Amino acid sequence: MTETTSPDNASAVLTNLGKLLPELEALYKDIHAHPELSMHETRTAGIAADQLRKAGYEVTTEVGKTGVVGLLRNGEGPTVMLRADMDALPIAENTGLAYASKVTATNAEGVNVPVGHMCGHDMHVAWLVGAASLLSQARDTWKGTLMVVFQPGEETAQGAQAMIDDGLLKRFPTPDIVLGQHVMVGPSGTVAGSAGPITSAADSLQIRLFGRGAHGSMPQASIDPVVMAASVVLRLQTIVSREVAATDAAVLTVGVLQAGTKENVIPDDAIIKLNVRTFDAGVRKHVLEAIERIVNAEAEASGAPQKPEITPLDRYPLNVNDETASNRIAEAFRAYFSADRVKHTGPAPASEDFGCFGTAWQVPSVFWFVGGNDPKTYAEAKAAGKLNELPVNHSPLFAPVLHPTMETGVEALVVGALAWLGTS
């Protein structure tokens, strides 16, 4: 029979964390300065694989193109999966850090773009390397199998599914629990989570509206797709304000509106790209149907020569924390961290493909957040009512403070894993 590992066991595993921190900090800075776009994380994956081999793991690379899976079998017991994502974003970093990214790369459209770790996935890699190393060093304190997964392509919702499609479920043991975490805005040194929905479902769409081009001085000869697009954008905002109940939640954001090449030429078409976030399957269905209804109606009202093209771009599933497993994590966190470091948080409007793993294996999963802001800076911003002014994930200015963010993330993964990897 297996019993949950006590806080003393967690302390025993983490006793060498202080000695490991300089190495983890150097690894983090290196990955931060050398970011890679989604599904192209070859350098980062190589670093992760080398670290796992050094720690004694069975390592499999190129799972789902660039994914890495490490297995550490340590006797009879549960199997725990810990996951970190590796990819960066096509964003020019503006943090001014000494190790800031100056990298550019060619994206899927063949365009050269700046690349930066402006979401914190570099921190996630360092956390998982640290936790994997410490758990390997202290195998006498736990029993079971540890499976660590470095996942590609989270930012494009490709990576988790790519690993699953590449035989993840057949090639590796079925975990009893899947655990993951994300650095977010919040006081460094704190962890936060809750049972139930924890990150939103997300749907991205491209809409192409068709008109008839003409000279800017003769609009009567045109069917203006710019006006059509403007009407669509404004009308789409009424879906959340007038079609979603106040007790529900949804966000609809138009991030791209493209039309024309010259100020005195009415173009033939216009492109809209939008993103929808929801926390309920019924609300999601209604919002997506309303988008289609409005887009087609506005095109018809404008006399468009053909129906709009609505193309799905990517989709993230609703990420739901298992209630029983979440309570177990919370209990383990409260037993290890001081009470003021363990926070309860509602669902975040951000989205993640982390939930794909638990869904595919049909096992419980838990995802939580680790604060990345200097506690004094965060407290001052909160007191002044200026939390919204702190750089958030995907901002060119997003940069978690190294300490205690680094050690807190490693501690949380170790404590979470040990909530299942008990002693015999």
CA 96 to chain CA centroid, nearest Å: 24
The reply to whether CATH 1.10.10.10 applies to domain 7-199+318-418 is no
C-beta of residue 386 within 8 angstroms of C-beta of residue 104: no
Average predicted confidence (pLDDT) for the chain: 96
Q: What's the pLDDT score for residue 1?
A: 35
C-beta of residue 67 within 8 angstroms of C-beta of residue 159: yes
In this structure, the strands spanning 319-321 and 196-199 are antiparallel
The domains of the chain are located at 7-199+318-418, 201-315
H helical segments located in 212-280: 225-238
pLDDT at 363 over 80: yes
What does each C-alpha distance from 364 to 18, 28, 74, 115 come to in angstroms?
32, 30, 22, 34
C-beta of residue 170 within 8 angstroms of C-beta of residue 320: no
pLDDT 10s digits, 87-100: 999 999 999 999 99
pLDDT 10s digits, 385-398: 999 999 999 999 99
Mean pLDDT of 205-219: 97
Task: Give CA–CA dist 80/421, Å, rounded.
Answer: 7
Give the model's confidence band at 2: pLDDT under 50 very low, under 70 low, under 90 confident, else very high: very low
Mean pLDDT of 15-26: 97
Give binding residues as ranges.
Answer: 119, 121, 155, 182
Task: Give CA–CA dist 357/364, Å, rounded.
Answer: 9
Contacts with 338 (C-beta within 8 Å, 6 or more apart), sequence order: none
C-beta of residue 232 within 8 angstroms of C-beta of residue 271: no
**Best CA proximity match to 21, nearest among 418, 408, 412:** 408
CATH number among 3.40.50.11240, 3.90.1570.10, 3.40.50.300, 3.30.70.360, domain 201-315: 3.30.70.360
Give the DSSP H or E segment for 201: strand 201-210
Give binding residues for Mn(2+) as ranges.
Answer: 119, 121, 155, 182
Share of the chain above pLDDT 90, in %: 95
Q: What's the pLDDT score for residue 406?
A: 98
Give the model's confidence band at 71: pLDDT under 50 very low, under 70 low, under 90 confident, else very high: very high
Put simply, whether the predicted model's pTM sits higher than 0.85 gets the answer yes
